[in-house]
Structure formats: C-alpha cells, structure tokens
C-alpha cells in the first residue's frame, strides 16, 4: 500500500489552495468603504495582542482579519461588526465571487455541506476556520471551494481529478479516513504504531534474508524456490531502500518524540516581533489603490504594511520610517536587528541561496528567505512577510536528512535534476511494491493452506 500510493503522491499531492489561487480570488479593496482603521478592528475583535492584521475585500465589503497566537476574528471595516459567515447564502456569494475572479465557471454553484471536517478539510491548519461551507461550482472540472465560517475566506479548493487520485494516493498512504483523521491524537498514534511495526518487521526480514544466503559453487545461492525465492532476492536487492523508506516514513510522524519540532515557542516569537502592533494614524493612512490584500505585522519592534497587488507582486513599507522608502521585501539588516532581540548570540542575516541543503521556500516565489545563526540554532525568516519559517537546532538539522532526504529523495544533487529524482522514486517504489506483492502471495497461500503448515519449502543447495 505505501509503495504504490507513494508513486501516486509524487504526481498528485493532497489538495490545497495555493498562494496564487488565494490572492487571485480577491477583488481589489474599495478604499472609500474603509471607515475604520486596523487598530479599531483589533479592539472590536477583543484581541489585545494581535500578531497580524489583514484587510481584504469580500462580499459585503472590506473586512479586517485579526490574528493572535490563539484566536482568529473577522471584523467589517465599515461598522466594526462581526464579519463571520452565518448563512449559506453569504458563503455561496463569497465562493462565486472568488471563482469569477479566478475565471472559473460558477453559474450553477451551490452549497453542498456545512461541517467541521470532511475528507479534504481534515488537516490541522484549517482548525481556526471551522466549520466550513463546501460549495460545488458545477464546472467541468468538478471544482469545490471551502469557505471559512470565521473569516469568510476561501481556504481550500479541490477538483474531481484531485479527489479521485488522492483516494489512491494521500488518503490511503497517510491512513486518512475522515473518521480517524478528525481526531489528531488517535490518527497520530495509529500511524506511528503501524509504521513502527512495519519497520521492526522489515528489519527482522532483512536480517533473516541475509542469514539465509549461502555460497554455492562460486556464487551466492538461496535455499528457496518459486515465490519464496522471488521474495528473498527482491528483499535483498532493495533492503536498504525498504528499510530507509519505512524508517523515514515512521519519522514523518515523529512530532517531537525523538527530534525537535522546528517551531519557535511563544516567548521566542514574541521576542522576534519585539512588541505589540502599535497603530497610530500613520499606520493605516494612505491605503494604496488597486491592492487585493493589505497586511500589518511587527518585526523587530517595527510596524510594517504589506500591500499585495497580485500573486507575485507586493510592496512593503516600514511605518514611521523617516525616508518613507518602499521596497518589495524585507532587507537583511532588518532581519538581523529583529533576530538580535531574540538572542545576543545571533549574527548577521544572510539570504539562503538556491541549492542550499536546508533551503526553504518563501510564500512568494521571488522573495528571499533569510538565515540567522544564533550559536547552534538557525532561524529561517521569510523576507516577504517576516514570518519565522523554522528553527533548526542540531536535532532538527539531522531530522532533515533522516526524514526529508531519505523519504522523498530530497538531496540537493537530485533537486537540481528533477527528472532523475522522479525516475528514481518511481523505480524504487516499484521495486518495493513488487517485493511486497511476493510477501502477500506467500502470506495468502500460507493462511489458506489446508495443512496449515507455515514452513517455507527448501530447495536443493
């Protein structure tokens, strides 16, 4: 199951709403309808320490989305009332507007469900938006959109093709049935335990397979015949791959059990921000024309405004900066100053270069990701929005190789040769699948044998 579905997953990943799709689904913000500033929206949401505030346009007018470490709230920019989506009609209107902005057919769109979880909305990154409205557009691709009842944003989309292939891919590979996956702890324990059992079994088989090989007339010989021989030789041929792939798959469910999590704690995040978002008249004055999304955030004690005009273009302004200089992305000195609030051991920020073994991707394709080294700890920060992406201590750097490299062949040399990497993944998983099929045949014959005898047939040496 894991080998076959692994091949499918390489070509068809689990459905998600890409950053390009998300931004393209917004209409431009009507500045004349913004009657209140972001600070007033935070007060109306009763969030004292917002991490980020965004302004978007959706059905019903412009809306502020206020996020803290633990809460998410949407407030109308016109009258500071709650902007939660409390009717299916409003959700349908939002989804239809999003679809038209992306040039998708939505003439026969309809609400098909309002629920906390379904097969395509179980991941935890959607928890703050639940329950979700699911809207079927009725187009030829079978597109379905998910609208957050909390903020009114479209937060996921799927197509009929993605859904069909993912039943043969991610859903099976991750053991992802909705009934199990909606309970994260139960799912985590189930997959972790099964992966560990598979690892121990494969390890035992590898040891036994090696012990059963013997020299005969100048070459190695197997004592088995038929399906047992196929299983023996295939197992020896792909033992290293099978063991490393199952081990790394098990480690994908580590979640802090053996390796560190790679996340900043609340105190570290607060230190990096350098304080609360302190809005004044200058912070929300002069909203740009033609923006699809405006975001305010704090980094290193300084308030920034991020204007999004399309999926690939943005403008970043440091509020209160004497020169009023605009730039597309954060600069290295700004990242350095913020990181030194985290620790005096932090050095200068440097942009991570393509091909770096620990490279991460920004939310925008052209934006830099900066690395700050603080003693033994590396911090990666997105130059597009100041978001800390990962905290790499020695444990997490090791995890990068034990999991990502071994499980998805994410080696720098192969990353530069995607066709070769794809070919290796398909061939190796096909070998693992063939090896597994021989075991299934042997096991089925054994349990259905009328004699009930479990021993393999031995051939002549």
Kindly tell me if the per-residue pLDDT of 445 is higher than 90.
yes
Domain match, 276 and 137 both = no
Domain match, 164 and 288 both = no
What is the maximum span of the chain, computed from C-alpha positions, in angstroms?
A: 90
Question: Cβ of 51: how many Cβ atoms within 10 Å?
Answer: 19
C-alpha–C-alpha distance, residues 131 and 76, integer Å: 20
Find, among 362, 300, 252, the residue nearest to 371 by Cα: 362
Domain match, 271 and 155 both = no
Domain boundary among 366, 392, 418: 392
Domain match, 16 and 144 both = yes
Domain match, 281 and 154 both = no
Query: Could you give the number of structural domains in the chain?
Result: 2
For residue 215, being part of any structural domain is answered with no
Please give the angle made by the CA atoms of 282, 287 and 288, to the nearest 5 degrees.
135
For residue 34, being part of any structural domain is answered with yes
Domain match, 301 and 153 both = no
For residue 407, being part of any structural domain is answered with no
C-alpha–C-alpha distance, residues 291 and 330, integer Å: 19
Record the pTM: 0.91
For residue 165, being part of any structural domain is answered with yes
Domain match, 270 and 169 both = no
Q: Which domain holds residue 149?
A: 2-173
Domain match, 159 and 308 both = no
Domain boundary among 173, 202, 229: 173
Kindly tell me if the per-residue pLDDT of 135 is higher than 70.
yes
Report residue 8's pLDDT band, with 50, 70 and 90 as the boundaries: very high
Domain match, 10 and 152 both = yes
| Confidence (pLDDT) at 214 | 87
Residue 55 is encoded by which pair of tokens?
Answer: 């302004």
Q: Work out the percent of the chain whose per-residue pLDDT is above 70.
A: 95
For residue 89, being part of any structural domain is answered with yes
> What pLDDT digit, counting tens, does each position of 35-81 carry?
998 989 999 999 988 889 999 999 989 999 999 988 999 999 999 99
For residue 276, being part of any structural domain is answered with yes
Residue 267 is encoded by which pair of tokens?
Answer: 């105190």
For residue 250, being part of any structural domain is answered with no
Report residue 327's pLDDT band, with 50, 70 and 90 as the boundaries: confident
Report residue 460's pLDDT band, with 50, 70 and 90 as the boundaries: very low
Domain match, 140 and 276 both = no
Q: Which residue has the tokens 């900043």?
A: 264
C-alpha–C-alpha distance, residues 127 and 15, integer Å: 16
Domain boundary among 155, 173, 191: 173
For residue 444, being part of any structural domain is answered with no
Over its C-alpha atoms, the chain yields an Rg (Å, rounded) of 27
């Amino acid at each position: 199951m894991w080998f076959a579905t692994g091949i499918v997953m390489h070509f068809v990943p689990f459905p998600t709403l890409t950053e390009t799709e998300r931004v393209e689904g917004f209409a431009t913000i009507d500045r004349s309808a913004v009657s209140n500033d972001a600070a007033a929206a935070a007060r109306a949401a009763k969030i004292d320490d917002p991490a980020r505030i965004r302004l978007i346009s959706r059905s019903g007018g412009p809306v502020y989305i206020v996020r803290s470490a633990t809460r998410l709230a949407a407030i109308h920019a016109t009258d500071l009332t709650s902007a939660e989506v409390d009717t299916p009609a409003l959700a349908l209107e939002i989804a239809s507007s999003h679809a038209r902005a992306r040039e998708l057919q939505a003439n026969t769109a309809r609400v098909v469900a309002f629920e906390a979880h379904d097969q395509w909305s179980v991941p935890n990154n959607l928890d703050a938006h639940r329950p979700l409205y699911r809207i079927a557009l009725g187009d030829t691709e079978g597109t379905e959109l998910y609208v957050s009842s909390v903020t009114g944003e479209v937060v996921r989309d799927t197509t009929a093709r993605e859904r069909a292939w993912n039943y043969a891919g991610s859903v099976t590979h991750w053991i992802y049935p909705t009934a199990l996956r909606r309970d994260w702890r139960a799912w985590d324990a189930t997959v972790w335990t099964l992966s560990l059992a598979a690892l121990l079994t494969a390890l035992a088989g590898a040891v036994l397979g090696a012990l059963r090989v013997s020299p005969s007339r100048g070459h190695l010989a197997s004592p088995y015949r038929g399906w047992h021989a196929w299983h023996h030789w295939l197992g020896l041929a792909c033992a290293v791959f099978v063991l490393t792939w199952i081990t790394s798959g098990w480690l994908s469910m580590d979640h802090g059990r053996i390796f560190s999590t790679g996340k900043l704690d609340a105190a570290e995040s607060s230190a990096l921000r350098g304080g609360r978002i302190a809005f004044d008249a200058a912070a929300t004055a002069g909203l740009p024309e033609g923006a699809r999304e405006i975001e305010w955030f704090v980094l290193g004690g300084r308030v920034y405004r991020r204007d999004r005009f399309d999926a690939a273009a943005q403008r970043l302004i440091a509020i209160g900066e004497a020169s009023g200089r605009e730039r597309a992305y954060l600069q290295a000195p700004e990242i350095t100053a913020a990181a030194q609030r985290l620790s005096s051991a932090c050095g200068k920020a440097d942009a991570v270069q393509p091909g770096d073994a620990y490279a991460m991707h920004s939310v925008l394709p052209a934006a830099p990701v900066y690395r700050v080294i603080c003693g033994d700890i590396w911090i990666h920060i997105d130059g597009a929005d100041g978001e800390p992406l990962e905290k790499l201590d020695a444990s997490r750097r090791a995890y990068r190789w034990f999991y990502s490299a071994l499980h998805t062949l994410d080696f720098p040399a192969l990353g530069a040769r995607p066709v070769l990497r794809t070919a290796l993944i398909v061939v190796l998983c096909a070998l693992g699948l063939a090896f597994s099929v021989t075991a299934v045949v042997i096991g089925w014959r054994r349990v259905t044998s009328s004699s009930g005898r479990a021993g393999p047939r031995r051939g002549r040496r």
